[in-house]
Homo-oligomer: A and B are copies of this chain.
Amino acid sequence: MDEIKNYIEENKDRFLDELFGLIRIPSISSESAHKDDMYKAAEYWKQALLKAGADKAEVFKTKGNPVTYGEKIIDPKLPTVLVYGHMDVMPVDPIDLWETKPFDPVIKDGKIWARGADDDKGQSFMHAKAFEFMVKKNLLPCNVKFMLEGEEEIGSPSLPAFCKEHKEMLKSDIILVSDTSMIAQDVPSITTGLRGLSYMEVEVTGPNADLHSGIFGGAVANPANILCKMIASLQDENNKITIPGFYDDVEILSPEERAEMAKAPFSLEKYKKDLDIKAVHGEEGYSTIERTGIRPSLDVNGIWSGYTGEGAKTVLPSKAYAKISMRLVPNQDNEKISKLFEDYFMSIAPDCVKVKVTALHGGQAYGTSTNTPAYIAASKAMEKVFGKKAVPTRSGGSIPIISEFERILGVKSILMGFGLSSDAIHSPNENYPLFNFYKGIETIPYFYKYYTGLLK
């Protein structure tokens, strides 16, 4: 198994070439113009799996974007690892903030710069290359299945149905996922919790047309002003979310658990410096780590109304819009929260405007324990490669499908991610350090080895 280091060294340029081919496909799932690119990416993955040693691989159509499935069954009696990843990426705007072209990957300062370099093309492709190594060197200790979807960034709307339909095909003992981060390059960590998500869009309509702000200003409700007031009232002066019932189901951690979390290495000064902020900002009574790990949040992801061009236009807009999402923690139900949001948002609308609320997507939070074979195997694998014990962490992000896997397939996931918080995923200048890419490939075969060993 220790040959993996040499194998990476001998093949690293080819690994990058192959990954870059995938990255160059602009598979933005939220933009319908990229529909064809989703099929290109799915086909690319199919070929990559076959080339790496899969017995078979196939592109499945769904109601939405395609899913690529591949497998290598060496013995039905042996355990089966199902690798999950996604081939779709986030939009690239604001495009003018990118220093390189988002779909033209380049290596600079020891990192891959491109949309999807980390999330999740870079991370998922590590699994193809680790798999290739195990097949080539005859070191595969168990069965392997791959499932790559094309709708993760829009909430995986088609994957639950796909899982239900192909339950037998997807039968496995553990789902292995690399779509999360480690604390730092020298602090390996494993994600034991993910936040859920309720993503809403709201539309506030004032007058039936844009008006002259002089002739009408002061007498007619301005939907942008009203929307600001409504959004402002969603959080109180302690940054607690004011939606009635919002916190009812929030999992409350014991002081001991919070004390354990507080031991994770974290520098507030570095955090602030990296983000160039004078002060952090969040719910009173919780640390920064807790605010993203164990507490729900509410963010405006987008807001727009009126004139946003150059110079001045004295318009009183007819409509104002916002995209508002809430990150949820274990026990909060995303559909219930979406409904609470909608009810509350409608209730605070003054009668001088019309309000429409739409739930765009959502997902449940996820939590897992540290005493499962998969966690222990992942922890040992990371310790083997990074020389340090992995820290269990809770991510602030969401992978809504993870809780769906458990519900539909009855299989837990292990979130062994190799990203860094500085990878700028979802942002301009997304990047992924080569160090993490190669270390990830190096770690994965050990996971297979230890995991299969523990199940024997």
- Whether B308 pairs with A277 at a CB distance below 8 angstroms is no
A437 at the interface (CB under 8 A from B): no
Q: Is the CB of A311 within 8 A of B31?
A: yes
Query: Once bound together, how far apart are the Cα atoms of A315 and B302, in whole Å?
Result: 8
Partner among B181, B210, B299, B300 whose Cβ is within 8 Å of the Cβ of A427: B210
Residue of B nearest to A232 (CB): B232
A231 contacts the other chain (CB 8 A) = yes
B216 engages A396 (CB within 8 Å): yes
Residues on B with C-beta less than 8 A from A305 are: 300, 302-304
In the bound complex, residues from chain B placing their C-beta under 8 Å from that of A265 are none
Interface stretch, picked from A138-146, A281-289, A374-382, is A281-289
Interface string of A283-313 (1 = CB under 8 A from B): 1000010011001111111111111111111
Q: Which residues of B contact A360 (CB under 8 A)?
A: 311-312
How far is it, in angstroms, between the C-alpha of A154 and the C-alpha of B307 when the chains are bound?
Answer: 14
Most buried by B among A155, A228, A304, A427: A228
Let me know if A211 is at the binding interface, CB within 8 A. Answer: yes
Q: B296, A154: Cβ atoms under 8 Å? A: no
Q: Could you tell me if A195 and B214 are in contact, using CB atoms closer than 8 angstroms?
A: yes
For the complex, is A373 an interface residue (Cβ under 8 Å from B)? no
Q: How many copies does the complex hold?
A: 2
B91 adjacent to A208 (CB under 8 Å): no
**A56 close to chain B: CB less than 8 A:** no
Across-interface contacts of A351 in B (CB, < 8 A): 278-279
A218 at the interface (CB under 8 A from B): yes
* B317 lies within 8 A of A302 (CB): yes
Whether A302 and B295, one on each chain, are in contact in the complex, defined by CB atoms closer than 8 angstroms, is no
Provide the A218-250 mask, 1 if CB < 8 A to any CB of B, else 0: 111110111111011101000000000000000
Q: Which residues of B contact A155 (CB under 8 A)?
A: 312
Contact A309 B30 (CB under 8 A): yes
A276-B207 Cα distance, complex, nearest whole Å: 6
- A159 CA to B267 CA, complexed, in Å: 56
Contact of A30 among B288, B296, B313, B398 (CB under 8 A): B313
Q: Is A275 an interface residue (CB 8 A)?
A: yes
With a CB–CB cut-off of 8 A, which chain B residues contact A295? 218
Which of B207, B275, B280 is A277 in contact with, Cβ under 8 Å? B207
**Is the pair A210, B94 in contact by a Cβ cutoff of 8 Å?**
yes
Are A301 and B213 neighbours in the complex by a CB distance under 8 Å?
yes
Name A210's contact: one of B207, B280, B306, B426 (CB within 8 Å): B426
The reply to whether A214 and B427 contact each other, CB–CB distance below 8 Å, is no
Q: What are the residues of chain B within 8 A of A307 when measuring CB–CB?
A: 91, 93, 301-302, 323
Known: A292-B218, A352-B281. Is A306-B302 also a contact (CB below 8 A)? yes
- A254 — which chain B residues lie within 8 A by C-beta? none
With A and B bound together, what is the CA distance between A305 and B282 in angstroms?
A: 20
Residue among A214, A309, A310, A354 with the most chain B CB within 10 A? Answer: A214
Instruction: Determine if A428 and B209 form an interchain contact, defined as CB atoms under 8 angstroms apart.
Output: yes
Q: Which of chain B's residues have a CB closer than 8 A to the CB of A46?
A: none
Please indicate which of the listed interface residues A208, A280, A313, A316 has the most CB atoms of chain B within 10 Å of its own CB: A313
Q: Which 8 A-B pairs have the closest CB atoms?
A: A218-B297, A214-B397, A221-B281, A30-B311, A224-B300, A232-B232, A302-B306, A281-B352
Binding site for B on A (CB under 8 A): 30-32, 90-91, 93-94, 97, 153-155, 181, 195, 197, 199, 201, 206-222, 224-229, 231-233, 235, 275-283, 288, 291-292, 295-317, 320-323, 325, 327, 350-354, 360-361, 395-398, 421, 424-429
List 28 A-B residue pairs with CB atoms under 8 Å apart, sorted by A's residue number: A97-B209, A197-B214, A199-B312, A207-B275, A209-B275, A209-B424, A211-B426, A212-B425, A216-B396, A217-B298, A217-B325, A218-B282, A218-B291, A218-B292, A218-B297, A219-B280, A219-B297, A219-B396, A224-B301, A228-B300, A228-B303, A229-B235, A302-B306, A302-B313, A303-B304, A306-B323, A312-B360, A314-B398
